[in-house]
A and B are shown apart, each in its own frame.
Chain A
Amino acid sequence: MSAEVATRPAGTGLRKYWSAAIFSAQDAFTYRATAVVWMLVDFVPSVVMILVWQAAYRTQTSVEGYSLHDMVTYYLATGIIAGALTSHAEFTMNWEIRDGRLTPQLTRPISYPVLVMCKETGWLIAKLVVGIPVFALLVFIFRQHVLVPHLSPAAWIGFGLSCLLAYAILSLIGVCLGCLSLWTIESSGIFELWWSLGGVLSGSLLPLELLPGVLRHVAFVAPHRWGSYFPVRVLLGKVPVAGIYEGVLIQFCWVIALATIVALLWRLGTRKYEGWGG
């Protein structure tokens, strides 16, 4: 066995995860209508928020320093970035654990949490591709209010990095939640609670500055704001270049912390796992 491993071509270990992501993307493109449906579902809250704010701004021109243009641009950017970066690995894991489909995966020479993240990546690529026309349509509809970002090349690079790390943070949070199913078997209630709270803490509901007192303080210490909220702020030019790279560093620290938690939960959880169903 060790000789086989020693003579294996370099990169074979990663290739299986790459293949899983590609297969997942192909599957998602084959059944692209599903991706369209979920991208639309992701955008509806943003459009709803914009409509509410449009009604609110009939009586005033600024709320806490935000103009209507700022708000519209903020929610559209949140819609596309949050939709493209948020994976729901926890639902896949919950389903496979509950139905006993995890058992054969444990006997394979793969890291199951990494495999799930790769599969979700393929799905997100498809969702992003179908989401771009939806986003373009919404930008066209609200064109009178959309502010075009003017970023320096360094800020654009920082934006790209912040998106990659935000994706890693959101995926790792999903896997952490998914690991809970190793104890509870059925955890969809926990997931719903987490994501509804996450909607508030990640800035999808309101720019964090507008949250009421205690919630605002919680939002600034929770990991959620380093998900989609930070890249959105970067894209809107609300963060200076030095602040962008400082934020990227903090995101990186969160990735390390969350990866450690995933490893710990997976190790403890698989000892507890009883392999129901199957």
Chain B
Amino acid sequence: MRYYARLMLAIFHNCVAREMQFRASFVMSLISGYGWSLVMLLFLSTVVARVQALGTWEQRDIYVLVGTFMIVQGLTQCLFETNMWRIGSHVREGTLDFILIKPVDSQFLVSARFLRLSALGLLLPGVGLVVVGARAPFVWADTLLYVSGTAAGVAILYAVSFVLATTTIWFVRAEMGGLVYGLFDVMRLPADVYPKGVRFTFTYVLPLIFIASVPAQTLQHRGHVAVSLAGVGVSILALAFARAFWFIALRSYASTGS
């Protein structure tokens, strides 16, 4: 563990130096990270302002939902996003070979080698929206479930992104990882919006509603403890699935480039 902690520290130092090379772009990335989330907030707020509520979600619930997703997105993008995009180029150019022969866990290295520090800019407005939208009274149990649910959301989003990016080993040129950007919009929506069949799919097949919708409901005192805990269980299963998927995919890796 100490070895990996030292490795993460070295990665952090390296990425800070790298991001500071392009300071203007860093500042713009910091600001632009808010863009899509605020766009979705504007959309949902405009709709709710005209119809009063989307299912059981009122304006302040929407703030918590979008804020929660900004927190999950900020953490996931900071820790993993750049790396997910690089998996494809590692496969195409054959540089995955150099990762596989290093004395370190290959999934760790392909997932965490680069940090995108500018994505942390999403955390502050995300927390701000959650605080503004949270319903009184403050309940410790709900808050703890919310924090664990949000952490589970980060894990699930990482697992989904990683599995999609790993498919590049078979499809080579097809950037399936790009589908995650499309799914972002799905994750930012209240669960009530989906028709039954779609909600079933996003609960049991591709568990996207656990990423932001379930934690947000918990914080607003409208969630069930069992569902919140199920989110944590789903995240563990998703991580296990991603790990198994990586090793299965590696069996098909044929070192096409170099």
Cα A186 to Cα B43 with chains together (Å): 30
With the chains together, A43 CA to B181 CA distance in Å? 11
Among B25-33, B152-160, B250-258, the one that faces the other chain is B25-33
Q: How close is A266's CB to chain B, nearest CB, in angstroms?
A: 20
**Contact bitstring B33-55, A, C-beta under 8 A = 1, else 0:** 10110110011101100111111
Q: Contacts A34-B174, A53-B47, A190-B25: A205 and B39 contacting too (C-beta < 8 A)?
A: yes
Q: Which of B68-76, B140-148, B186-194, B229-237 is near enough to bind chain A?
A: B186-194
* A44 near B25: Cβ-Cβ < 8 Å: no
Instruction: List 10 A-B pairs, Cβ < 8 Å.
Output: A33-B173, A37-B179, A38-B175, A41-B179, A185-B22, A189-B32, A189-B118, A192-B35, A192-B36, A205-B43
Known: A55-B192, A59-B52. A190 touches B176 (CB 8 A): no
Q: Does A52 contact B (CB under 8 A)?
A: yes
B194 to chain A, nearest CB (A): 6
What is the bound-complex CA distance between A66 and B191, given in angstroms? 24
Query: Is the pair A56, B176 in contact by a Cβ cutoff of 8 Å?
Result: no
The CA of A227 and the CA of B192, in the complex, are separated in Å by: 33
- Residues of chain A within 8 A of B42, CB atoms compared: 200, 205, 212, 215
> What distance in Å separates the Cβ of A131 from its nearest Cβ neighbour in chain B?
13
A92 at the interface (CB under 8 A from B): no
Do residues B182 and A31 form an inter-chain contact, with CB atoms below 8 A? no
A59 contact set on B, CB distance < 8 A: 51-53
User: Which of B44, B54, B195, B198 is packed against the most chain A CB atoms within 10 Å?
Assistant: B54
Given contacts A48-B189, A51-B189, A51-B194, contact A40 B179 (CB under 8 A): yes
Task: Find out whether the CB atom of B39 lies under 8 angstroms from the CB atom of A193.
Answer: no
Residues B186 and A48 in contact, CB atoms below 8 Å apart: yes
Task: Provide the bound-state CA to CA distance between A59 and B56, in Å.
Answer: 12
Decide yes or no whether B185 CB sits under 8 A from chain A: yes
B28 partner, pick from A187, A200, A206, beta carbons under 8 A: A187
Interface residues of A (CB under 8 A from B): 31, 33-34, 36-38, 40-41, 43-45, 48-49, 51-57, 59-60, 63-64, 184-193, 195-197, 199-200, 205-206, 210-212, 215
A136–B66 CA distance with the chains assembled, in angstroms: 31
Contact B44 A184 (CB under 8 A): no
Contacting pair B46 A41 (CB below 8 A): no
A184 to B39, CA, bound (A): 26
Q: Which of A41, A186, A195 contacts B182 (CB 8 A)?
A: A41
Q: A63-B50, A191-B32 are in contact. List 11 more A-B contacts (CB 8 A).
A: A40-B179, A41-B181, A56-B54, A59-B51, A59-B52, A187-B25, A188-B29, A193-B35, A196-B39, A199-B36, A200-B42
Name the CB-closest residue of B to A199: B39
